[in-house]
Structure 1
Amino acid sequence: MRILVVGAGAVGGYFGGRLAAAGRDVTFLVRDKRAQALRESGLVIRSPRGDLTLRDVHTVLSDTIAAPYDLVLLSCKAYSLDDAIASFAPAVGPSTAILPLLNGMRHLDVLKARFGEDKVLGGLCMIASTLNAGGEIVHLNDTHGMVFGELHGGMSPRAQAIGLVMEDAGFESSASPQIVQRMWEKWTFLATLAASTCLMRAAVGDILATPDGRAVIEGILADCREVAAHNGHQMPPEFDARANQMLLQPSPLTASMLRDVENGSRTEADHILGDLIARGAHAGPALPPLSPLRIAYSHLKAYEARQVRQARQAPGG
């Protein structure tokens, strides 16, 4: 199976690097600068699950893609989706499967509209990773897993074939017959974590140490669960257990979106929070204007507006 990994960043580079090290046929779709860096230094992963330096990395530029790939692994930021689609479109043929690892749901609508529903799988990953100043992939926690499946449910031969390719590749992976439900579960959890930690600019433990911190997290979680339920996705008991452990017990846990805010970077607020709010209004009663989730979203949009204003006011802006 010929696999094209779009980018060689914190997520795609990690999973693609592990797959390549396991002997799979992996090519990274990158820009000139990243291709040069990979030629010079290789693809480097620093991880509690084992470091890896991959030499002779196979790379391709968008304008040099010569034939379709069997599987396209996509893990870009949501706001870069259109650019990513333009770059890998030449790699999509009649039998290509596209496996996106983005959070939320909007990207599925965009990909299906562009390539057709039969080309697109559902997927999610569980990993915290980043690129350091030297371009190395730094794995920040002990978790590194991937789940995927057919959007219409069930277990297809295609999903089973991809499962075999992912098996024993240096990370946990599984094909799910209910991938859309699994994606909604992750979205509900992640939106709660992102909204809570960004609104309060603090880790879960710090929020819980405040007089009303627990109520803030619980209020945001209730909003997210309500939207999921209106869209036909109730959270199962195992979700409740995980949410209680991860969101309502003191810990240093934060969302990567908070790191984006602290670094003055662009966020995925529209994709993770805004689209969730919009889907709630489409499928059921809209969340009230002062609901915790909407307040958190407005907080992030105010941050974005300030970033734009300051950029315009800067010399040369």
Structure 2
Amino acid sequence: MNIMIFGAGALGTYFGSRWSETGENVSFYVREGRKVQIEQEGLQVISVKGNTKVRSPKLVTNASEVSSVDLVLLGVKGYHLEDSLPVLKEFVRKGAKVLPILNGIEHISILKDELGEEAVLGGLSYIIATLDDHGHVQHTSELHELIFGPLHPSQEEICASLSKINEHANFNSQLTSNIEEEMWKKYMFISAMSGVTTAGDFHTGIIRDVPETLKLVENVMSEIGTLASQYDIHINQEDIDRRMKSFQSLPYEATSSMHQDKRKKNKLEVEHLQGGALRLAEQVQLKLPYTETLYRLIKPYEIQKK
């Protein structure tokens, strides 16, 4: 399979490197600055699940350099989505299906509108990873899961092929026929985790130590679960309890990618995550007071400067 990693950030580099280990034909579509960094520093994963290095990674900076693509793993930040669309369209014209693993929900409808329903798979990942100053992936927890599935009947074949490939890759993989439900469950989890860690400037261990703050995490999850029901996705208390258990099992110092970005004074995904939930809620005339409060607390950090 010809796999294109769109953006060699922490997630894209991690899964792309794991596929490269299995011998798949993996290329990385990157900006010029990232290309220079990779050429100087190499492409490495430092992981509790085993280190790996991609020797002579195939780096692409222009879609015209590629003749054929089967699958694009889209792992950009939500605020880069719009700028990515012209290149994604070119990859789709060359035969690619797009597997987005962005946090959130709104991007699926945007991608379908721009690329066509048959081109967009459903997907998400559970992983705690970040890039260090050398551009290497630091993967610090046992979590490294890729969940995906078809959103259109025509996608069943490529999903089955990818599932077969993933049997030999060093990460956990799940092919599901209920991918929309799984995406909403991830959205529920990440909205709470990213919102509370970023707004409060806490890692997960501190939150777990304070029952009142831990309850806020559960309240945000419940809000997103109620929102999901307005879009015909059923999330029950058992689903929330399971995600709360996952939250409490994270390493003490674990935190969200948005909180990491806040600490680094990088741009934040607050509009894509909490802002997206509020827009979806407005469409169905639903109030999300906990999510809205977190959104308003995080927004000022968008103007922070390094």
Give TM-score scaled by structure 1 length. Answer: 0.88
Task: Kindly indicate whether the alpha-carbon contact (under 8 Å) linking 1:111 and 1:120 is maintained by their aligned counterparts in 2.
Answer: yes
In structure 1, the partner of 2:38 is: 38
Q: Does 1:68 align with 2:38?
A: no
Q: Does 1:275 align with 2:273?
A: no
Identity of aligned residues (%): 29
Q: Deviations over 1:112-164 (max 9, x none)?
A: 12110110001001111111111211112111110111124798222112212
Q: How does 1:216-227 map to 2 (within 5 A)?
A: 216-227=216-227
In structure 2, the partner of 1:314 is: none
CA apart distance, 1:253:
3.7
In structure 2, the partner of 1:204 is: 204
CA apart distance, 1:299:
0.7
Q: How does 1:13-24 map to 2 (within 5 A)?
A: 13-24=13-24
Which contiguous aligned blocks of 4+ residues in structure 1 show a shift greater than 6 angstroms?
A: none
Task: Structure 2: give runs of 5+ residues left out of the alignment.
Answer: none
Structure 2 counterpart of 1:265, one-letter code: N
In 2 relative to 1, CA 113–247 (structure 1 residues): closer, same or farther, beyond 3 Å? same
Task: Kindly indicate whether the alpha-carbon contact (under 8 Å) linking 2:41 and 2:134 is maintained by their aligned counterparts in 1.
Answer: no
In structure 2, the partner of 1:54 is: 54
Residues in 2 aligned to 1:204 and 1:33: alpha-carbon distance in whole angstroms = 33
Residues in 2 aligned to 1:152 and 1:236: alpha-carbon distance in whole angstroms = 26
Q: Deviations over 1:188-224 (max 9, x none)?
A: 0110111222222213332344473244233322222
Q: How does 1:1-317 map to 2 (within 5 A)?
A: 1-62=1-62, 64-93=64-93, 95-152=95-152, 156-210=156-210, 212-236=212-236, 239-247=239-247, 251-283=252-284, 285-287=285-287, 291-304=289-302, 306-307=303-304
In 2 relative to 1, CA 244–154 (structure 1 residues): closer, same or farther, beyond 3 Å? farther
Structure 2 counterpart of 1:276, one-letter code: A
Per the alignment, in what secondary structure is the counterpart of residue 11 of structure 1? helix
Q: Deviations over 1:73-99 (max 9, x none)?
A: 110001011222233432222632111
Per the alignment, in what secondary structure is the counterpart of residue 93 of structure 2? coil
Residues in 2 aligned to 1:253 and 1:195: alpha-carbon distance in whole angstroms = 14
Give TM-score scaled by structure 2 length. Answer: 0.91
Structure 2 counterpart of 1:150, one-letter code: P
Structure 1 counterpart of 2:292, one-letter code: R
Residues in 1 aligned to 2:153 and 2:298: alpha-carbon distance in whole angstroms = 34
Residues in 2 aligned to 1:14 and 1:156: alpha-carbon distance in whole angstroms = 25
- 158-167 vs 107-116, which deviates more? 158-167
Task: Kindly indicate whether the alpha-carbon contact (under 8 Å) linking 1:154 and 1:177 is maintained by their aligned counterparts in 2.
Answer: no
Residues in 1 aligned to 2:36 and 2:211: alpha-carbon distance in whole angstroms = 52
Residues in 2 aligned to 1:94 and 1:131: alpha-carbon distance in whole angstroms = 30
Which one has a bigger Cα radius of gyration?
1
CA apart distance, 1:236:
4.3
Residues in 2 aligned to 1:175 and 1:259: alpha-carbon distance in whole angstroms = 29
Task: Kindly indicate whether the alpha-carbon contact (under 8 Å) linking 2:225 and 2:236 is maintained by their aligned counterparts in 1.
Answer: no
In 2 relative to 1, CA 126–208 (structure 1 residues): closer, same or farther, beyond 3 Å? closer
Structure 2 counterpart of 1:281, one-letter code: E
